[in-house]
Amino acid sequence: MEELGYHYKELPADLSAPIAVLRWRRRAWIATAVFAALALIDALVSGSFDYVLRGWLMGLMVCLSFCTGGLALLMVQWCSGGKWGLLVRRPLEAMSRTLPLIFLMFLPIAIFAKRLYIWARYTDAHAAYMHGLIDAMQAHAIAYKRPYLHLYGFAGLWARGILYFIIFGIFVYFLNRWSLQRDTDTEHGNWFWQKRFENLSGPGLVIYSLVLTGMCVDWVMSLDPTWFSSMYGFLYLVSQGYAALAMVVLVTLALSQYEPVKTIMRVKEQHDLGSLLFAFVMLNIYIAFSQYLVIWSGNLPLEIRWYMDRITGGWGPIAGLDFFFHWVLPFFLLLSREVKRNKGKLATVCCIMLFARFWDTWWLIAPSFADQRRNLHFVPGMLQYLFVPGALTALWLVYFFTQLRTRNLVPLNDPHLPQILESEHVHAFTT
C-alpha cells in the first residue's frame, strides 16, 4: 500500500483492554461500597424502605439504559455500517453482556411490587375507593387495566419481565458470539458476516422497540395507572440511545489514552461520534416536546394531570433544569466543531448528558408517588434517590469493566480496519 501513497499505522501486538481498566474497576468497587453504606445509613435513620425501592427503580432504569441501549446501538451499527462502529463495537458488546446483572436488579422490584405500585397493592379497586385509599380516577384506571396490571399468571408482571430478558438475551448471545467467530473466520468473506448481522439486527431493532415499550410501561408508566401516552415507549427508546451513546463515547475517549484504541482513534471518527451525540440530543427533545405539545394543545384532562404533577408544587424548576441539562447545554456545546474534536471537551459533554439522564429519570419517577406529587419537599429518605442509583450504577460499571477485559478491543477481520489505520492526513506521492 505504501506505493499507492497511503501511510498505515501498525496495530500493537496486544489488543486487549489496558491495565487502566482494572484501576477504573477498583474505583467503581469503592464507589459501590460508599454509596451502599450511605444508603444503608439513610434507611436506618429514616426508617423508610419505600424510598429505597424508589431509588432502586431509578437505578434499574438508568442501568437498563446502558445495557439495552448499548444493544440497540450495536444493532444500529450493524445495519448502518461506518468506521465509527469499529471504535465502539467492543464496548457496546460489553455493555450488552451486563444483562444478567440487570435481571438481578429487576428481582427486588418484582418481589416488592406491592410497595411500589398501587395497582398491585389494591387488587379490588372498588373496595379501595370506598375505603378512601385511592380516588375515583385511580379506581377506574386500575379496574380498566386489570387484565394487564397484575403480578402473577400467564401475562403478569413476573411472566412479562422474564420474557423480556429472555428475548434480549437471545440477541445478546448471538451478536456477541458471531462477533468473536468473525474475528477468526478465514473461510467466509465479509459479505457473509455482514448479511448475517443485518438479518438479525434489522428485525431485532423492531423487537427491541416493542420489548422496551413493555418494560417502561410495566415498571415506570404503571406507577401512575391513570397516565396514558402512546409515545411513552418511544420516548424511553430515544433516551436509552442518548444515555448509552454518551456512556460508550466517554469510555472510548478514556480508552483512547492507551493502546490499542489510541492507534485507531482518529479525529475524524471522534467528530462522527460527536455528531451522533448531537443527533440524539435533537431527537430526544423533539420526542419529549411532541408528547407535551399534543397533550397540552389537545387539552386532554387525564394526560394533563400527569404533567401538572411534574410542573407544580416545586417541580417546575426541576422540569426547567431537566430541559436545560438535557437539551440546551449539550445542544449549544455540540454545535461547536472544536468541542467535537477535543477529547476533554467532548468527554465533559458526555458527563453532562449522563447527569441529565439521572436527573430526568428522577423527574419521571418521584412525582408518581402521592407524598411527592405536586408537592416537592425534602423528607427523610429522599437521599435514596441519590445513594441507591449511585450504588447500582457503580456496580454496573464494575461488571461492565470486567466484561470489557474479556475480549480484544479491536475487532479483526473487519473491512473498515485498513481504512481506520490510515494516517490522519493521507496524501498521494508526487513523482
Mean pLDDT of 215-226: 93
The 10 Å Cβ neighbour count of residue 41 is 12
What is the per-residue pLDDT for 314?
A: 87
Given a cut of 60, whether residue 2 has pLDDT beyond it is no
What is the per-residue pLDDT for 294?
A: 85
Four-residue CA torsion sign, 183, 186, 190, 194: negative
Q: Name the residue among 69, 13, 176, 78 with its Cα closest to residue 416.
A: 78
Residue 75 lies in a domain: yes
| Residues 217, 230 contacting (CB under 8 angstroms) | no
Q: What are phi and psi of 429, to 5 degrees?
A: -75, 145
What is the per-residue pLDDT for 378?
A: 80
Given a cut of 50, whether residue 4 has pLDDT beyond it is no
Question: In this predicted model, which residue has the larger pLDDT, 8 or 96?
Answer: 96
Question: In this predicted model, which residue has the larger pLDDT, 426 or 263?
Answer: 263
Given a cut of 50, whether residue 429 has pLDDT beyond it is no
Give dist(CA 118, CA 110) in Å, integer.
13
Question: Model pTM?
Answer: 0.92
Give dist(CA 118, CA 113) in Å, integer.
9
Q: Longest Cα pair distance anywhere in the chain, in angstroms?
A: 92
- Residue-number span of the structural domain to which 133 is assigned: 15-282+382-410
Residue 157 lies in a domain: yes
Reported as a single tens digit per residue, the pLDDT across 31-51 is 999 999 999 999 999 888 899
Buried residues in 366-398 as b, exposed as e (16+ CB within 10 A): bbbbeebbeebeeeebbbbbbbbbbbbbbbbbb
Residue 369 lies in a domain: no
Q: What are phi and psi of 15, to 5 degrees?
A: -100, 5
Reported as a single tens digit per residue, the pLDDT across 344-391 is 999 999 999 999 999 999 999 999 998 888 778 787 888 999 999 999
What is the per-residue pLDDT for 6?
A: 52
β-partners of residue 19 are none
Q: Is the peptide bond before 260 cis (omega within 30 degrees of 0)?
A: yes
β-partners of residue 16 are 408
Give dist(CA 76, CA 200) in Å, integer.
11
Number of structural domains, the chain?
1
Given a cut of 70, whether residue 120 has pLDDT beyond it is yes
Give dist(CA 106, CA 88) in Å, integer.
27
Q: Name the residue among 110, 101, 130, 50 with its Cα closest to residue 379.
A: 50
Given a cut of 70, whether residue 3 has pLDDT beyond it is no
Residue 31 lies in a domain: yes
Mean pLDDT of 421-428: 59
| Residues 222, 205 contacting (CB under 8 angstroms) | no
Residue 325 lies in a domain: no
Residue 98 lies in a domain: yes
| Residues 86, 116 contacting (CB under 8 angstroms) | no
Residue 217 lies in a domain: yes
Reported as a single tens digit per residue, the pLDDT across 79-90 is 988 788 888 999
Provide the pLDDT confidence category of residue 424 given band limits of 50, 70 and 90. low
Given a cut of 90, whether residue 19 has pLDDT beyond it is yes
What is the per-residue pLDDT for 125?
A: 84
Give dist(CA 352, CA 341) in Å, integer.
17
Residue 389 lies in a domain: yes
Reported as a single tens digit per residue, the pLDDT across 278-295 is 999 999 999 988 888 888
Three cell numbers at 233?
415507549
